[in-house]
Amino acid sequence: MANSKYEYVKLFEQPDQLLPNTWAVVRIDGRGFTKFANKYNFEKPNDKRALDLMNAAARQVLVELPDITIAYGVSDEYSFVLHKTCTLFERRASKLVSTIVSTFTAYYIFLWSTYFPETPLTAPLPSFDGRAVCYPSLQNLRDYMSWRQVDCHINNLYNTTFWALIQLGGMSSTEAGEKLNGTFSKDKNELLYSQFNINYNNEPEIYKKGSVVFRDYELVEPGTHNTASEGESIAELAAQPQSKTQVDNDRKRRTKARVVIEHLDIIRDDFWDRRPWLLSNKP
């Protein structure tokens, strides 16, 4: 292409590459979903159809972007993890975030009628924001994932109790809020059980734990695994570059794998120990 006098404008583009050799998380979140949930009469506190739709859209994101290792979703948000060795789009943040957000949004709208067959979508249509954050160590990444799952638990226990007080106990939302003010988890568990005969432990896993989306291969028996190490140093990575064929083969293997949706504890080691491929740099 011939140069033109206009081409200098390219100089205004700013680099925005994510730090190399770090775990990148792209978190998306529904815009104004409090209002959106009311508009479509989402059940309170949890609407199974809405969560299944979020999960189905997230699953398609993993199918279309084999570079994503794992994703975790709760409420109107989803976190997508890119392996620290990922070089997709030269790790340019804006390209990664915008591709993930638009792929997710496109599928959310495309799949809406499967999960809400009686309720056509009308404008304003759902949209999502997105951001990318880099975590330099595996511990930081694990802590990030744990943070989201703890948040899910705390919010769900609160919301389950809050809506039980209203829907089953006949309280107003102000009364329910006051009743729960200053209570601990133990108190909410007891309140649910003594007043409503609800054992929180028996609530559906999808509500208590959120959703994990990942590629499934063979499970590793506990105790026989090689723990995914904290990772190679930059020097080691530079010393053993993956050949292009290796990278292509790994991507092919990932593309063929089954992408599953589970509702498991991702805070404890067990989940990760049994699936060492998630954190190793193998597919």
Q: Footprint of ligand DGT on residues 37-76 (CB under 6 A)? A: 37, 42-44, 46-47, 50-51, 75-76
Closest to ligand DGT by CB, 84 or 209? 209
Tokens of 129: 């924001």
Closest to Mg ion by CB, 67 or 77? 77
126 interacts with ligand DGT by CB under 6 A: no
Q: How far apart are CA 218 and CA 198, in angstroms?
A: 36
151 interacts with ligand DGT by CB under 6 A: no
CB atoms within 10 A of CB 81: 24
Cα 173 versus chain centre, distance = 30
* Widest pairwise Cα distance in the chain: 77
Closest to ligand DGT by CB, 47 or 262? 47
Closest to ligand DGT by CB, 37 or 257? 37
Residue 197 is which amino acid? N
Minimum CB distance to ligand DGT, residue 101 (Å): 13
Q: Yes or no: say if 22 and 85 are a contact pair by the CB < 8 Å rule.
A: no
Q: Footprint of Mg ion on residues 25-54 (CB under 5 A)? A: 29-30, 33
Tokens of 167: 């829907």
SS3 sequence, 193-220?
Answer: HHHHCCCHHHCCHHHHHCEEEEEECCCC
33 interacts with ligand DGT by CB under 6 A: yes
195 interacts with ligand DGT by CB under 6 A: no
Residue numbers at the binding site for ligand DGT (CB under 6 A): 29-34, 37, 42-44, 46-47, 50-51, 75-76
